[in-house]
Structure 1
Amino acid sequence: MPELLKQRVEACYVQAEAFFKRTFPRPEVSFKLRGLKAGVAHLHDNLLRFNPTLYQANQDDFLRQTVPHEVAHLVAHQVFGGGIQAHGREWQLIMRGVYDLAPLRCHSYAVQRRTVTRYIYRCPCPDSDFPFSPQRHRLVRQGRRYVCKRCRQVLTYSGETRQA
């Protein structure tokens, strides 16, 4: 795990402790997040997960914005309890008051979307294409049946695939 990221997490906690005049337990930090999210805070596990691909491509902004964003979730949960909204007033207070950052809900990093195969299923209805994910297609192969909501006929695999 990158040392700069660990240091930034610690610096965020030091800032929060100075602001709230209390200590916070340090989270476990993981660099095992894939997909579209830059980071995720697991409130009940006191765990932060970060996306290494997005970190490498956007290191400066990631350290400046994403790390405090995720730490703010854990701090908000520990200060205000579990009944708050993820990006609600309490979280926004921490982003503005503790970290002096705009409370942005989402990152704007360029994300490489992977192509996914869709398996085309049909029924007797006109223009009936039902693109199934590989997981759903596998379930059909194992015996699960899906039915069209209009005609109530079992959907059958057409033999076609598409890349989405």
Structure 2
Amino acid sequence: MIEKYRNVIQKIEAAIRKTEEQGRQHYNISLPNAEIDYSLRGRCAAQARVDRNGQTFLRINLQLLSENFNDYLKQTVPHEIAHLIVNWQARKQRRRPPPHGSEWQN
């Protein structure tokens, strides 16, 4: 199934890597490249997570991505990378900020 989305996946992964690099440079951090999987289903577009070791993960809803590609590029990717940056930095202080709390908005 993923094979039919190969072109879309290549473009979105390039956008994710570019946005991660912009975040690294802007905040002067060593954020690792996220592991990306396309297993998310339902109405959620994407999910970002950072584990205890600092590894970052993005789950992408491939169906919604293919139906809303431009919105993913302009909104979803930057939104989820912002979550990764906030949670990755908070991990050092052993905190878990609210998903859209004050840290995330700054």
TM-score normalized by structure 1?
A: 0.53
Q: Which runs of 5+ in 1 are unaligned?
A: 94-164
- 1:4 counterpart SS class: helix
2:101 to 88, 91, 113: 88
2:21 to 14, 18, 23: 14
Contact 2:38–2:59 (8 Å) recurs in 1: yes
Question: Larger RCO: Structure 1 or Structure 2 (Cα < 8 Å, ≥ 6 residues apart)?
Answer: 2
Higher helix share: 2
CA distance, structure 2, for counterparts of residue 91 and residue 12 of structure 1: 16
Identity across the alignment (%): 31
Coordinate RMSD, CA, aligned:
1.4
Contact 1:80–1:90 (8 Å) recurs in 2: no
Paired residues, what number?
A: 93
Runs of 4+ in 1 over 6 A off after TM superposition: none
State whether structure 2 residue 3 is matched by structure 1 residue 3: no
Contact 1:38–1:51 (8 Å) recurs in 2: yes
State whether structure 2 residue 91 is matched by structure 1 residue 78: no
Contact 1:39–1:48 (8 Å) recurs in 2: yes
What does residue 62 of structure 1 align with? 72
1:99-150: CA deviation from partner (whole Å, max 9, x where unpaired):
xxxxxxxxxxxxxxxxxxxxxxxxxxxxxxxxxxxxxxxxxxxxxxxxxxxx
Contact 2:46–2:61 (8 Å) recurs in 1: yes
What does residue 62 of structure 2 align with? 52
Range with greater deviation from structure 2 (28-37 or 15-24): 15-24
CA distance, structure 1, for counterparts of residue 71 and residue 86 of structure 2: 22
CA distance, structure 2, for counterparts of residue 22 and residue 41 of structure 1: 17
Q: Which runs of 5+ in 2 are unaligned?
A: 1-5
- 2:41 counterpart SS class: coil
Report the AA paired with residue 105 of structure 2: Q
